[in-house]
Structure 1
């Protein structure tokens, strides 16, 4: 386990709270023992830990299951991973793991204490699992090596979405929910992905969930995104870009995308 000094140094280096570093570090050790399960990492955590090491930090671990699992089986596997991570890393993961069924699958919440927080409120890591009958993976699953920017050794491979599939789901998410991280992710990823691959799967991604590409719905929620911008992302990134700049760029991107989208299959 790394020292309190290293956590403080990393927090200064990345310009985020110490708790963000603690969670990121613990996520890696937990992920090491979850990575053997038949599922693919996705979302912001997948971007940060497997593709772009200087990306924003993420609070949760998000997976799509590659086979059907029931809640009890999955919960038992998560508890086993927690025990293994605790034994190898020295992190004080708690035995208690909360498990609930969600609309899209299952959610487990893991708690841990690290260093100076040992006597205080535990830090949580939410682990979301999307069922295979709720989501379809349309591009090839990648095998990526974890980024572990800490002094102890934590080296392993993870099954994950391609960057283009993450991008496609992030675009869809803008029309499903109001979370500033989706706006940030689409803005940041746009110049880094192969657009042809994103476009090839985007109509199907919308169709799977019955989501409509309606730019006016996004514009109606501009103030909601703006009001949550700092609170949602301020602890995840050192230099948070100006909301209005990001929003305007994304809307322009989506206008161009909408022109193409209207000529392709749009779900009713």
Structure 2
């Protein structure tokens, strides 16, 4: 484990209110390395807030306190947990990881979560959630992507591995799906940041429709955007995950998300058909055609 003084510097340069947020970011880097070296990541695709910061947005993204993956193969939660127990019960470069048998079923049975504990020289007890979604297979090809360089990387005992990740358009679509099903401030913030970057809007829209079809949830974009505007949100949930001098107004974030993702309302006839079929799942041929369209569109993009 890198020395505490380097985490102090990392927390200071990141302008964090809580040093332990920086400590968690570093510990998750060690956990990712351990999972990668074990080979377990070959069956998973990285996604979620930590993926967005470590792989896509870097220092412009918020911090995250856990790990999220999508399972790539049709395996049962207990198979994954047994493998994770083999990997996450060890000492790794001065961090002792512990994972006891057991898991929590989440997302209505479509995901499971384990909570590895850890300790090191100056933190006797920490823990983080590791969630694996079993709800669907990725629509786009998974790619192994290098982690964005962080200031503390030069003090690590290893060079961080490349990590198999959902493609960035699919990461954005996952964020929209998450926000559609449960409104969290951190998801608004992630979409606000993505809205400042170029991405293919028709591809994201089609992926959102497909993701909600997979979980039998009907996509109604008009009501979704209306709910965005009328909801009440706990903005304090975000404060410890961003720089202390972050000053963007909450209303600005909401309005940027509503405006930036208004393209979701422009469903194509094919997307509208799949959205209406989310409960019955009778239009599987049309769904497969939309999947193929997404894959072709992505393969034709420059990067």
TM-score calculated relative to the size of structure 2 = 0.77
Secondary structure in 2 matching 1:72: helix
Q: Which runs of 5+ in 2 are unaligned?
A: 277-303
Secondary structure in 2 matching 1:212: coil
5 Å-filtered alignment, 1:198-237, equals: 198-209=204-215, 210-220=217-227, 222=229, 224-226=231-233, 228-230=234-236, 232-237=237-242
Secondary structure in 2 matching 1:2: coil
5 Å-filtered alignment, 1:189-200, equals: 189-192=194-197, 193-200=199-206
5 Å-filtered alignment, 1:58-207, equals: 58-84=64-90, 86-87=91-92, 89-96=93-100, 98-102=102-106, 103-118=109-124, 122-131=125-134, 134-147=135-148, 149=150, 150=152, 151-152=155-156, 153-192=158-197, 193-207=199-213
Distance 2:25 2:101 in 1: 18
Quick check: which has more Rg, 1 or 2? 2
Q: Which residue of 2 aligns with 1:31?
A: 32
Asked if structure 2 preserves the Cα contact closer than 8 Å seen for 1:180 and 1:229, the reply is yes
Deviation readout 1:109-160 (Å, 9 max, x if unpaired): 0112244332xxx2221000111xx223111211111235221124212110
Aligned with 1:247 (options 228, 240, 254):
254
How many residues align structurally? Answer: 258
Asked if structure 2 preserves the Cα contact closer than 8 Å seen for 1:172 and 1:205, the reply is yes
Q: Which residue of 2 aligns with 1:10?
A: 10
Distance 2:247 2:142 in 1: 30
Distance 1:233 1:34 in 2: 28
Asked if structure 2 preserves the Cα contact closer than 8 Å seen for 1:183 and 1:250, the reply is yes
Structure 1: 4+ residue segments shifted above 6 A: none
Q: Which runs of 5+ in 1 are unaligned?
A: none
Secondary structure in 2 matching 1:53: helix
